[in-house]
Amino acid sequence: MAIVEVVKYNGKPTDMTWKYPNEELGTWTQVVVNETQEVVFVKNGKILDILGPGKHTLSTENIPILSKLINLPFGGKSPFKAELWYINKACNLDVKWGTAPAIQIEDPKYHVFIPVTAHGQFGVQVGDSRTFITRLVGTLTSFNNDDMVKYFRGLLVSTVKDLISEYFVSKKISILEVNAYISDISEELETKLKPKVEEFGINLVNFYVSAIEAPEDDPAVKKLKDALAKKAEMDIIGYDYTTQRSFDTLESAAKNEGSGANLMNAGIGLGMGFGVGGKIGNEMGEISSKMNTNSNKKEKHTVKCKKCGSEVDANLKFCPECGASQVNVCPKCNHEVPEGTKFCPECGEKL
């Protein structure tokens, strides 16, 4: 049987807990615990004591419960089996996390589904060594940062997804604008995750979201960014999408042969629809109106009054100036006869 005299920590700096490999101990064994550590003393699956910083001898004086669990046949110096767990209680601020694969979230502003990834880091500190050992470590020989992320990945991803989705909806912001709100999201995530992590004896310290991103090569992201770039261009120039479409229609009509009437109608519609094309539409509307008016007018023909010589519409039967009749009549039957007729077509009277 090996005789253990001094037990010291020999784990890695990133280990949150480390189990001393030799379980053959004795009441002569001394355990050295550093300032930022605690040692959990376990025998037969039960935690007997938690040793703080300093040098401890595993004796019945320091751990009274030992006298009930071991026999003392060797003059007070008895060998026994037990486990020693070193717990590092220093803050570890470099635990990385990320949501891989991407989370599908509907953009609340543009109503398109976009894959979103989030990543960052957080700090942890063992708050309750007893809870940490019994609920999280179990029978592992060590527990480090990677184990922490692995155990809490599901909790992290589900909480991050729910909170980011809720945040977008409540603030009505686009996923492409979210990085302006990273600080607020980090604080809310830390507030929600803290009580859940504390159930395992761990204190969450400084939870950070480094970035929330959408993949540049995703078709939905590319389409949305192109649309936003086009909108920004229109805002700078000073017109909207409807105006742009109308200009496209005019340009298309102008390229087609025999499309003069279509072009004019497009111009009139443009003038009626919005201010940018108002001048074009008004001018084309006036041209169209004049064309319609002229086409409806009858040609005017005038003659001189037979009595006063005034200009009289050829369609009038009496002069509007002197009232004289402007038509020829037969002196016998008073029937109207055309100008230059020699005989009346009704009675045959010579004119």
- What pLDDT, in 10s, does the model give residues 21-65? 988 887 778 899 999 999 998 888 888 889 999 998 887 666 666
Instruction: Give me the mean pLDDT over the 303-321 stretch.
Output: 77
User: How far is it, in rounded angstroms, from Cα 164 to Cα 213?
Assistant: 12
What is the pLDDT averaged over residues 175-187? 86
Please state the separation of Cα 136 from the chain's center in Å: 36
The upper half-sphere exposure of residue 43, i.e. CA atoms within 13 Å in the direction of its Cβ, equals 18
DSSP codes of every residue in 155-176: HHHHHHHHHHHHHHHHHT--GG
Comparison of pLDDT for 340 and 222, the residue scoring more: 222
Rounded to whole angstroms, the Cα distance separating 28 from 192 reads 47
The pLDDT tens digits of the residues spanning 69-78 come to: 655 554 556 6
| The pLDDT value given to residue 239 | 59
pLDDT, position 300:
59
In whole angstroms, what is the distance from residue 144 CA to residue 58 CA? 27
* pLDDT at residue 65, rounded to an integer: 64
Rounded to an integer, the average pLDDT of 2-18 is: 81
Who wins on pLDDT, 129 or 342? Answer: 129
Calculate what percentage of the chain has a pLDDT beyond 70: 72
* All domains in the chain, ordered by first residue: 6-88 (no CATH), 92-216 (3.30.479.30), 239-293 (no CATH), 302-351 (no CATH)
- 8 band by pLDDT with thresholds 50, 70 and 90: very high
The β-bridge relationship of strands 30-33 and 6-7 is: parallel
Report the pLDDT value the prediction gives residue 248, as an integer from 0 to 100.
63
% helix, strand, coil for the chain, step of 5: 40, 25, 35
User: What is the band of 164 on the pLDDT scale with cuts at 50, 70, 90?
Assistant: confident
Q: What is the pTM of this model?
A: 0.56
**pLDDT given for residue 126 in this prediction:** 92
Q: Which amino acid is at 218?
A: D
Question: Which one, of 279, 319, 285, lies nearest residue 303 by Cα?
Answer: 319
Which residues are CB-contacts of 269 (< 8 A; sequence separation ≥ 6)?
246, 281
Q: Residue 34: its pLDDT value, please?
A: 93
Mean pLDDT for the chain? 76
**Predicted confidence (pLDDT) at residue 292 exceeds the cutoff of 70:** no
Judge whether residue 228 has pLDDT over 60.
Answer: yes
Cross-strand partners of 119: 98, 211
